[in-house]
């Protein structure tokens, strides 16, 4: 790790002002990603501004029935919050299926959204990587890419976005609240994540010094009937090969409301809109689920070792929908 200086701030204004004033500085929240990347020289700020004393740790009711997760609320606290658990079970599940209990105690939900990709070439400072060193090429394209994305890829980058929480938030149309030198912003989660395109180094629209202060979960009755399933090689403590966040209600045998998002397969938490279009109003049957899965993965592009994710993705979508439908049927 290169030498760094350290400041600790206790109010949002100072935090933003301090980081904004120094192009070589960065916020330090839970540190689980920041310290790791500092140690392997992928992130190289010279100054860390510790924001853990900022009053952004609450989970609060919003007028109109939504919920605001403070940006610095810990993954474990959000996961176990009774209201989150009751109204947005997929959020709880996505958090509890991520990382480990120790990491969940450390990591903030804002930091979780901001975490960098796990691509081995991104983490290897000697390897070409367009995201870390724009213009150097993508080593993953023809490399060890079993974990890489099949959706939302570009010729510049195929790294999978690793967040589980982000997938649930994508399904819920959460809104990211930020505050920066230019003021406060509300950014829909779908806009918060950028596709790699020709600029994979840009992962989100935040400016330097702009801080994620909170995440708003909209009032969404269907979210109470939701779940998050995650498929991986080992039973725990691993990033997803495929993950599905689904909220669904069925009325009269037909799908009345559907929200579907995918993780582990895309360069950003992936809202499965093509599948949703197929499912909206369709009979809650295996045929509909298969058709939806096919529609969503029709746009997928394999890159060698990760080709299986297309089929696995389809089957996991069908599995998630089937289980939700069974639950709805028995409810």
| Contact set for another protein, span 246-275 (CB under 8 A) | none
The residue from 43, 57, 85, 103 that contacts another protein (CB under 8 A) is 103
Q: For another protein, which is the closer residue by CB, 156 or 312? A: 312
Residue 46 engages another protein in binding (rule: CB under 8 A): yes
The residue from 59, 220, 312, 321 that contacts another protein (CB under 8 A) is 312
Least separation in angstroms between CB 72 and another protein: 13
Residue 120 engages another protein in binding (rule: CB under 8 A): yes
Task: Return the range that interacts with another protein (CB under 8 A); candidates 54-62, 263-271, 276-284, 314-322.
Answer: 314-322
Q: For another protein, which is the closer residue by CB, 50 or 328? A: 50
Contact criterion met (CB below 8 Å) for 163 and 239: no
Q: For another protein, which is the closer residue by CB, 150 or 249? A: 150
Least separation in angstroms between CB 123 and another protein: 8
Residue 287 engages another protein in binding (rule: CB under 8 A): no
Q: Which residue has the tokens 């510049």?
A: 156
Least separation in angstroms between CB 148 and another protein: 11
The residue from 35, 222, 256, 274 that contacts another protein (CB under 8 A) is 35
**Which residues from 143-202 bind another protein, rule CB under 8 A?**
143-144, 146, 179-188, 191
The residue from 82, 135, 236, 330 that contacts another protein (CB under 8 A) is 236
Q: How many residues does the chain have?
A: 331
Q: For another protein, which is the closer residue by CB, 233 or 287? A: 233
Residue 318 engages another protein in binding (rule: CB under 8 A): yes
# binding residues, another protein (CB under 8 A): 79
For residue 175 the two structure tokens come to 């809104």
d(CA 212, CA 59): 14
Residue 311 engages another protein in binding (rule: CB under 8 A): yes
d(CA 41, CA 57): 29
Q: CA angle, 11 as apex, 3 and 42 as ends, to 5°?
A: 30
d(CA 172, CA 99): 21
């Amino acid at each position: 790790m290169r030498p760094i200086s350290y400041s600790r701030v206790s109010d949002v204004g100072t935090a933003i002002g301090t980081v904004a004033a120094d192009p070589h500085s960065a916020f330090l929240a839970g540190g689980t990603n920041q310290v790791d990347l500092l140690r392997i020289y992928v992130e190289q700020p010279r100054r860390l501004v510790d924001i853990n004393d900022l009053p952004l740790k609450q989970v609060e009711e919003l007028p109109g029935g939504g919920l605001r997760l403070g940006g610095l609320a810990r993954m474990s606290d959000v996961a176990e919050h009774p209201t989150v658990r009751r109204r947005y079970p997929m959020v709880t599940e996505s958090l509890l299926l991520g990382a480990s209990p120790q990491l969940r105690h450390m990591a903030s939900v804002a930091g979780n959204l901001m975490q960098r990709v796990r691509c081995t070439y991104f983490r290897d400072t000697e390897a070409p990587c367009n995201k870390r060193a724009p213009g150097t090429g993508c080593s993953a394209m023809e490399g060890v890419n079993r974990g890489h994305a099949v959706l939302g890829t570009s010729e510049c980058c195929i790294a999978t976005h690793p967040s589980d929480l982000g997938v649930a938030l994508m399904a819920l149309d959460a809104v990211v609240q930020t505050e920066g030198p230019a003021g406060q912003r509300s950014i829909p989660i779908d806009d918060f994540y950028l596709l790699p395109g020709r600029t994979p180094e840009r992962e989100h629209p935040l400016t330097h010094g702009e801080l994620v202060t909170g995440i708003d979960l909209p009032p969404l009755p269907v979210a109470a009937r939701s779940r998050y399933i995650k498929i991986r090689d080992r039973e725990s403590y691993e990033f997803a090969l495929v993950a599905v966040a689904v909220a669904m209600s069925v009325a009269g045998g037909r799908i009345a409301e559907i929200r579907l998002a995918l993780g582990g397969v895309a360069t950003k938490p992936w809202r499965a809109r093509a599948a949703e279009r197929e499912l909206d109003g369709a009979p809650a049957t295996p045929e509909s689920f298969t058709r939806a899965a096919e529609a969503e993965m029709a746009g997928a592009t394999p890159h060698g070792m990760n080709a299986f994710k297309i089929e696995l993705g389809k089957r996991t979508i069908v599995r998630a929908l089937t289980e939700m439908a069974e639950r709805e049927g028995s409810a």
